[in-house]
Chains A and B, each alone.
Chain A
């Protein structure tokens, strides 16, 4: 077995073990072919997501701090796939460093001194910065050229400006740069950073139908073949709810919504069968076949 070029500890988050399993699978496949090691943090727990910080900040911070503590068992910076988990973990680091009072409370809750030094990195950051775009480009086995991709950031990859620090909060390009390095074409579109309706998908699905509809419409206007995401919740709203959105708005979109890692892995030569394309509600296979990618 060849040696890995980089090694990370890995926090997949709840969704990647359920509704977003294809994100997890494609991430594993992509990193394997790029020779980037990923070792899952043992017994990681839910970061608390939006519900926790919505009503109980202390709980939210404590859950994240616990995960950071758990991650210390594995070598390497902490790689996070889910944009929401990434945002929560970064926010927790940010707030606990800033606010000694909150830090004290969390230390009490965990009954342990905080270990906060491990850098938390989103997959995008690892690919674009640590691994490098040139390297990524040279890993290309099958160019995605001809595929017009609308890169969808959503809320939490970039906002608020001083927390994730992944890219410019208002005009990021990191997703575009990453996928372009695999030969894809990206479209300019208006709703890259708009909210999809997030976790209202459970309690108030009407909200999602409206907000995600605008996003799909914008991508369609821009002439995109598909939407690329890096967040399971965005994916759920745009993919799983797409049929409902089409019904509610009376517009036919049929826009496949793909995880960033699915597309990258495809370009890097991973077999389409391993990338979970068949588990998606809006099947991307007709499109990928048309473009000669599968």
Chain B
């Protein structure tokens, strides 16, 4: 059982989940093994200070099949997808894609991660698309504040934006909402059949 992020790691064929690594490699389309831990990704990562595991350590943990440590941490949710790491990696390890894959794994595992706020924002965002077809920032922000319990977050900002015409109180729905719903449901269907990750 994982005590904390620094607790001792026992390596063996059983404790190294290499199937998980293969899954991440397939989802991301990037090799994990190719990384030789030069640390360039962490050196340029704008979000490094907010992460408990810097990007290179995420890859290292993956190489050793330590998926629990990766998913339990909130680091993957602090990746901004800025693509700096992938652009500069000397080994063509697409870390941004690996982060996407890890987030998907964590998302699917539901609640594996400690980071809930980012997940909440993501879910509301996707729900918005399914319901309206487009993003409506007012609704997104309001829903986020409601769900996160931070009712007064950016309280002062809202009215200002409204007067500047930046937030729309009312909006129209897309005419092709049925088609959009179909995309969502067909993807769910594919997953149920096990034909898509």
Contact = CB atoms under 8 A, between A and B. Distances in A.
Please tell me whether chains A and B touch each other in their complex, using a CB distance cut-off of 8 A.
yes
Contacts of A50: 81
Contacts, number: 174
A66 B183 contact: yes
B164 A280 contact: yes
Contact of B186 (A14, A111, A205): A111
Nearest to B108: A55
Interface stretch (A40-48, A220-228, A259-267): A40-48
Interface stretch (A120-128, A138-146, A153-161): A153-161
Interface in A15-44: 15, 17-19, 21, 43-44
B137 A19 contact: yes
B118 to A, nearest CB: 5
Interface in A72-92: none
B168 A18 contact: yes
A53 interface: yes
B134 A203 contact: no
Contacts of B96: 160
Report the interface size class on chain B: 35 or more
Interface size range of chain A in the complex: 35 or more
A111 B182 contact: yes
Interface string B159-192: 0110011111000001110011011101100100
B126 interface: yes
Contacts of B86: 159-160
A197 B80 contact: yes
B29 A99 contact: yes
Interface string A53-83: 1111111001100100010000000000000
Contacts of A280: 164
Given A46-B134, A55-B107, A57-B100, 10 more contacts: A44-B134, A45-B176, A51-B122, A51-B125, A54-B103, A56-B104, A66-B180, A108-B186, A159-B84, A240-B157
Which 8 A-B pairs rank lowest in CB-CB distance, beginning with the nearest?
A159-B83, A155-B82, A14-B135, A195-B82, A51-B122, A51-B125, A195-B46, A203-B121
